[in-house]
Amino acid sequence: MADKNTHFGFRKVPVGDKAQHVRGVFDSVADNYDLMNDVMSAGIHRLWKRFAIGMSGIQPGQQVLDLAGGTGDIARLMAPRVGKDGHVVLTDINAAMLERGRHALLDHGISGNVTFAQVNAEQLPFPDSSFDLVTIAFGLRNVTDKQCALESIYRVLRPGGRLLVLEFSKPVSALKPAYDFYSLNILPKLGRMFAGDADSYRYLAESIRMHPDQETLLSMMQQAGFERCDYHNMTGGIVAVHRGYRL
């Protein structure tokens, strides 16, 4: 990246240090990640994820890459859909989150068509044209060089393949005051109460503000080479699903 510094929430940190800071956050929250997702969103995150997978066009027999897959919610939805002839590669840059995901899938009886890999989305270690679908849910905002990651995703997609990004975004103006108050003031307190960690959840709230809005992310995807790009807002734009295709 051209700049020597980048954002870590509202702080500026050296570009080379951001991944380490993010790793520290997720090392801290891994054990309570699923609980906090339910607490923070009143369970609505499960509906967001199911809706996104419904938009993915996933088919039996396909090869799927789930980036920043964390504790496996998205992979758990996709593995039955690709079936025994398909395959899901669940990845995360954080070993603690990846281990939680592996145990969660086994607890749900999912094995055989899922493998696990610790990877950096900016430098995917897969051959060109390897996957029919790449998903990244609530993870892109934590990537240091998002444009690099989008280009790396484009490379590993097959012609006709598609990218699905589920991420927090910019809410409509009527929701913004209440949303800002909740996420910047209440969310860290919930983190302290349920996970014993206010700072990590303060970072997560701040990272949402630093993430590109809907139109900016759409332009970044187009710049990476994706075509037929679109997005769909959910819950008043608090969350958005972006799609793009490698044609």
CA-angle at 173, arms to 38 and 68, nearest 5°? 40
Say what the pLDDT of residue 132 is.
98
Q: What does the alpha-carbon distance between residue 155 and residue 224 come to, in Å, rounded to a whole number?
A: 9
Per-residue pLDDT of the chain (247 residues; tens, 9 = 90+): 445 899 999 999 999 999 899 989 999 999 999 989 999 999 999 999 999 999 999 999 999 999 999 999 999 999 999 999 999 999 999 999 999 999 999 999 999 999 999 999 999 999 999 999 999 999 999 999 999 999 999 999 999 999 999 999 999 999 999 999 999 999 999 999 998 999 999 999 999 999 999 999 999 999 999 999 999 999 999 999 999 999 9
CA 225, 244, 213, 120 dihedral sign is negative
Say what the pLDDT of residue 212 is.
97
Q: In the structure encoding, which two tokens stand for residue 25, read together?
A: 């956050």
| Pairing state between β 5-8 and 87-92 | unpaired
Residues 6+ apart with CB under 8 A from 201: 29, 36, 40, 187, 188, 190, 191, 192, 195
Say what the pLDDT of residue 1 is.
45
Residue found under tokens 């905002």: 141
> What is the residue extent of each domain of the chain?
5-245
Say what the pLDDT of residue 140 is.
97
Q: Kindly report the CATH number that applies to the domain delimited by 5-245.
A: 3.40.50.150
Say what the pLDDT of residue 4 is.
86
Which of 99-131 are b and which e, b meaning 16 or more Cβ less than 10 Å from the residue's Cβ? ebbbebbeeeebeebbebeebbbbebebeeebb
Distance, C-alpha 216 to centroid of its chain: 17
Distance, C-alpha 103 to centroid of its chain: 19
Helices 44-55, 33-41: crossing angle, 10 deg rounding: 100
Q: In the structure encoding, which two tokens stand for residue 12, read together?
A: 């500026």
CB 148 within 8 A of CB 169: no
Q: Which of 83, 31, 78, 45 is nearest to 194 (CA)?
A: 31
Say what the pLDDT of residue 23 is.
86
Say what the pLDDT of residue 2 is.
47
Q: What does the alpha-carbon distance between residue 118 and residue 233 come to, in Å, rounded to a whole number?
A: 30
CB 164 within 8 A of CB 231: no
CB 33 within 8 A of CB 103: no
Q: Which of 42, 99, 106 is nearest to 70 (CA)?
A: 99
Q: What does the alpha-carbon distance between residue 230 and residue 155 come to, in Å, rounded to a whole number?
A: 20
Three-state DSSP at 163 gives strand
